[in-house]
Amino acid sequence: MESGYFETIAIRTQTERSQYKEHSVPIYLTSSYKFDDAEEMRALFANEKEGNVYSRYANPNTSELIEKMALLEGAETGWATSTGMAAIFTTFGAFLQNGDHVLSSRSVFGSTHQLLNNVFSKWGITYNYADLDKPETWEAMIQPNTKMIYVETPSNPGIDIIDIAYLAEISKRHGVMLVIDNCFATPYLQRPLGLGADISIHSATKYLDGQGRTLGGLILGNKDLIDEIGGFARHSGPALSPFNAWILSKSLETLAVRMDRHCENALKVAEYLETRPEVKVVKYPFLKSHPQYEIAKKQMAQGGGVVTLTLNGGLEGARNFMDGLKMFSITANLADTRSIATHPATSTHNKLTEEQRNEVGIEQGSIRLSIGLEHINDILGDVKSGLENMG
Ligand SMILES: *Cc1c(COP(=O)(O)O)cnc(C)c1O
């Protein structure tokens, strides 16, 4: 690593090169590793010596990705997983036991909600949801058996923001661990560990890859906590493949330039939408009209690439808007070079009741836009044709 600058770390953090002196890191497609002799094998298995044993534990490609991400996130170390959900499952699995309670909010990724509701509940782990936009209610909801506070900020798709430093303060006061899903922000825009969180989690599938190619997950934190994560993950097996780790390590080299452009384009779209009569509400962290604008400014470097809007005209308005788009992809994913429109009420959040959807700020007229890297004139032009199609 050549300096402390984000861009330089993201490009220059590399594992050692082979005898061929390749400039770009090779892919190590190997499931296991040789030992020089019986003594080396013993020492590695006894954790007396560092080195690779088996790719379910570590591989040069995953190690490079983890080292780079830990530096970018300001973490001591980390663990890489096959998907974002594997990162979340592993974090819950490593730290929660029968009888523990998790305090979270309904504004979490759908599958995270399913994990709490259908999987961990089977093992006697309970949870409650507080509102992201009512931080004053969180402390009173901490129970004697609360082990973890788990939140996403900004949230998906409501784009609500909660003050991480405030949650860290109440977590410390009650001896509770604070876990942040930092997927929407990436370490380029927000570093939860520096604000007092214990663990930062990513779905690398989103902006870290940013090109819609691969699934992946990362868990970052201090060495003691990551050792516990590793203890669970070595035996439960959510390992990231070396090939996907290689892709993700390459992707990080361009994260800063990509995020700058995603944020610049998204802010322009958000500002444009605010001027249009068809639009009831626009949620974007760096719009002055955002209810938690001051907190967003304090903890994020820029507003991110996702804009959520609610159109006048309910379901019909939303459908006409989507059908009027010529360039945006209609896809449930986000954080791609390609701009994407999603109608959460009939796709990602169709399993929720109307009331539960309202709790997370999704109406029938709500649309989530993941703003890509096409030319801004084409992006704005397409948003305009969507609005014009509303009649
Ligand atoms: C996509 C996503 C996840 C899940 O990640 P996968 O890589 O799809 O498993 C978790 N959290 C957030 C905020 C996400 O957007």
Last residue in a domain, options 234, 252, 270: 252
For ligand 1, residues with CB inside 6 Å are 83-85, 109, 152, 156, 181, 183, 203, 205-206, 215, 217
Burial of 237 (0-12, 13-18, 19+ CB in 10 A): exposed
User: If you average pLDDT over residues 344-354, what whole number do you get?
Assistant: 90
* Residues 175, 264 share a domain: no
Tell me the C-alpha distance between 227 and 233, whole Å: 10
Name the H helices within 205-281.
Answer: 223-236, 242-252, 255-274
**pLDDT at residue 133, as a whole number:** 86
* Residues 270, 239 share a domain: no
1 falls in which pLDDT band (50, 70, 90)?
very low
**pLDDT at residue 352, as a whole number:** 87
Ligand 1: centre distance to CA 206 (Å) = 7
Contact criterion met (CB below 8 Å) for 76 and 222: yes
Q: Which residues span the domain enclosing 280? A: 255-388
Describe the chain by its helix, strand, coil percentages, rounded to 5.
40, 15, 45
User: If you average pLDDT over residues 15-32, what whole number do you get?
Assistant: 90
* Residues 62, 16 share a domain: yes
Residues whose CB is less than 8 angstroms from the CB of residue 183 and which lie 6 or more positions away in sequence, other chains included: 84, 109, 152, 156, 201, 202, 203, 206, 207
* Residues 244, 191 share a domain: yes
Last residue in a domain, options 211, 226, 252: 252
**pLDDT at residue 242, as a whole number:** 97
For ligand 1, pick from 81, 105, 106, 111 the residue to mutate: most ligand atoms within 8 Å of CB: 111
Ligand 1: centre distance to CA 325 (Å) = 25
* Residues 189, 61 share a domain: yes
Does the residue 1 lie in any domain?
no
33 falls in which pLDDT band (50, 70, 90)?
very high
User: If you average pLDDT over residues 233-250, what whole number do you get?
Assistant: 97
Which ligand 1 atom lies nearest to the CA of residue 86? 9
* Residues 260, 234 share a domain: no
Nearest to 312 by CA among 371, 391, 232, 221: 391
Does the residue 210 lie in any domain?
yes
Encoded amino acid at 341, one letter: A
Distances in whole angstroms, Cα of residue 193 to Cα of each of 87, 97, 101, 308: 17, 24, 22, 27
* Residues 298, 246 share a domain: no
Tell me the C-alpha distance between 68 and 80, whole Å: 11
359 falls in which pLDDT band (50, 70, 90)?
confident
* Residues 122, 245 share a domain: yes
* Residues 232, 273 share a domain: no
Give the relative orientation of helices 255-274 and 376-388 as an angle to the nearest 10 degrees: 30
3 falls in which pLDDT band (50, 70, 90)?
low
What's the chain's average pLDDT? Answer: 96
**pLDDT at residue 47, as a whole number:** 87
User: If you average pLDDT over residues 202-217, what whole number do you get?
Assistant: 98
User: If you average pLDDT over residues 152-180, what whole number do you get?
Assistant: 97
